[in-house]
Amino acid sequence: MALIRAVRGMKDILPPESGRWQWVEQVAREVFALYGYREMRLPLLERTELFARSIGADTDIVAKEMYTFTDRRGDSLTLRPEATAQVVRAFLENHLEKGAGVKKYFLIGPMFRYERPQKGRYRQFHQINCEALGSDAPELDAEVILLLWDLLSRLGLKTLTLLINSLGCPACQVEFRDKLKAFLFSREGWCPDCLRRREVNPLRVLDCKSQRCRELMQQAPLLRDCLCQACRRHYARTLELLSRFGVEVVEQPRLVRGLDYYTRTAFEVTATGLGAQDAVAGGGRYNGLVRDLGGPDMPGIGFAIGEDRLMEILPAEAVREEERGIFLAALGPAAREKGLDLVQEWRRQGLVAQMDYEDRSLKAQMSLADRLGAKWVVILGDRELAGGQAVLRDMDTGSQESVPLGELNIVLKHKSAIKEGN
């Protein structure tokens, strides 16, 4: 019978790599807590309308990449391709908009887009999302970017570049859209997608990946020349605050991001080592999204980190070493019975502990302990039981000592505390 393989573009995350993912997400949760963010855990499936209305029907995500199907009731459902619209949906449906102050949330989990698999990009991919709702202050823009920078720095990432732009408000975008559309119709050589986009959504041409279209766009008008005074002040204040707190930025006047709901501040973090698609994180303001999804006219800002891409550039030395524990090598039925009690007691004390349940030789059990990465092996046989002792072996040095069974728990706890630097 043929082996069933994983679906193309879907990746198994196995030990020890899964330990790296756990560490990254642990650091993320610690940083989010420092900034006052709370976690949302939301369904993978949403009504297709949610993403069509929020992301934009002419975006590549909605037009080409969503996993959409009709269920048995005839409803059109979609595996979530991004999290912001979903967070806003949950925010409104559960009446979380009530009360003063900025509402801060984060979400960690898988997203789905049907696109060509490449380095750091899969059809099931994983994101760490940050969403802040309720304030249009540039200080919040700066705080969200500082949170992102803080998180990436704590993960040991150094070769990063922060790209930033202002997309202006809807009034600014009307003026820019007219200028851009006139430019697009004055030039020839656009790809088929951009020929369509220039009719229905000219700003999406700025997001085209075609090299020819990118070259043509070098002469296009810039959105920053159409910003109103309020948007200019907002952008300038954001840049001022980032500079105050030591975050260097590269202004990218043609940065628009791939979603229609962005307004004002838009940003990306790029990294070396990921090829042409080098963005590891990105986000921006979405001041009209809550209103467009049926809620009050409430501003918002957020970002998403691509975990799969992050793993491609995560320094090996930045990851905390998995805790090495205890392996109990029991020789004989009586030793195994006693070992069951000891191992469970060590676990209750917070120590990592394992044992073998088969009747293997000491040599085979020592080999297994080595493969499991045990720091200590407790050797227990009939002779040790009769003498009320156990042999404790340090797997790094090879040294051994006899320890009374009654003192074994205290000795292991003490050695673990020394190892952890407590």
Q: Give the pLDDT score at 319.
A: 67
Q: CA 100 → CA 103, 278, 293, 299, distances in Å?
A: 9, 38, 20, 13
The domain tally of the chain equals 2
**Is residue 154 located within the same domain as residue 104?**
yes
Tell me the CATH number at 379. Answer: 3.40.50.800
Contacts of 333 (CB under 8 A, 6+ apart): none
Q: Give the pLDDT score at 98.
A: 87
**Is residue 349 located within the same domain as residue 310?**
no
Residue 37 in any domain: the answer is yes
Residue 10 in any domain: the answer is no
Give strand ranges (E) for 135-206.
160-166
Residue 399 in any domain: the answer is yes
Examine the fold and report which residue of 265, 293, 318 is the final residue of a domain before the chain moves on: 318
Residue 210 in any domain: the answer is no
**Is residue 146 located within the same domain as residue 130?**
yes
Tell me the CATH number at 45. Answer: 3.30.930.10
**Is residue 34 located within the same domain as residue 104?**
yes
Residue 189 in any domain: the answer is no
Residue 391 in any domain: the answer is yes
Print the SS3 string covering 297-350.
CCCEEEEEEEHHHHHHHCCHHHCCCCCCCEEEEECCHHHHHHHHHHHHHHHHCC
**Is residue 120 located within the same domain as residue 268?**
yes
**Is residue 153 located within the same domain as residue 26?**
yes
Strand order in the sheet with 76-79: 45-47, 76-79, 68-70
Q: Give the pLDDT score at 273.
A: 60
Examine the fold and report which residue of 267, 292, 318 is the final residue of a domain before the chain moves on: 318
**Is residue 336 located within the same domain as residue 313?**
no
Sequential pLDDT tens for the chain (422 residues): 899 999 888 999 998 888 899 999 999 999 999 999 999 999 999 999 999 888 776 677 787 789 999 999 999 999 999 999 999 999 999 999 988 899 999 999 999 999 877 766 789 999 999 999 999 999 999 999 999 999 999 998 888 899 999 999 988 888 888 888 888 888 888 888 888 888 778 877 877 778 888 888 888 888 888 899 999 999 999 999 999 999 999 999 888 876 778 889 999 999 876 555 678 999 999 999 999 999 999 999 999 999 999 998 888 776 666 778 999 999 999 999 999 999 999 999 989 999 999 989 999 999 999 999 999 999 999 889 989 999 999 999 999 999 999 898 888 888 777 655 54
Judge if the upstream peptide bond of residue 202 is cis by omega within 30 degrees of 0. no
Q: Give the pLDDT score at 120.
A: 65
Residue 6 in any domain: the answer is no
Residues 107 and 132 sit within 8 Å (Cβ to Cβ): no
- Record the pTM: 0.86
The Cα–Cα gap between 304 and 325 comes to 35
**Is residue 27 located within the same domain as residue 120?**
yes
Residue 191 in any domain: the answer is no
For residue 62, what is the DSSP state?
Answer: I
Contacts of 206 (CB under 8 A, 6+ apart): 180, 217, 220, 254, 256
**Is residue 240 located within the same domain as residue 362?**
no
**Is residue 339 located within the same domain as residue 298?**
no
**Is residue 330 located within the same domain as residue 305?**
no
Give the number of other CB atoms < 10 A from CB of residue 418.
Answer: 8
Q: Give the pLDDT score at 291.
A: 94
Q: Give the pLDDT score at 184.
A: 86
Examine the fold and report which residue of 318, 340, 365 is the final residue of a domain before the chain moves on: 318
Q: CA 191 → CA 6, 176, 178, 196, 394, distances in Å?
A: 34, 21, 20, 9, 65
Residues 287 and 169 sit within 8 Å (Cβ to Cβ): yes
- Domain region containing 390: 326-419
**Is residue 333 located within the same domain as residue 314?**
no
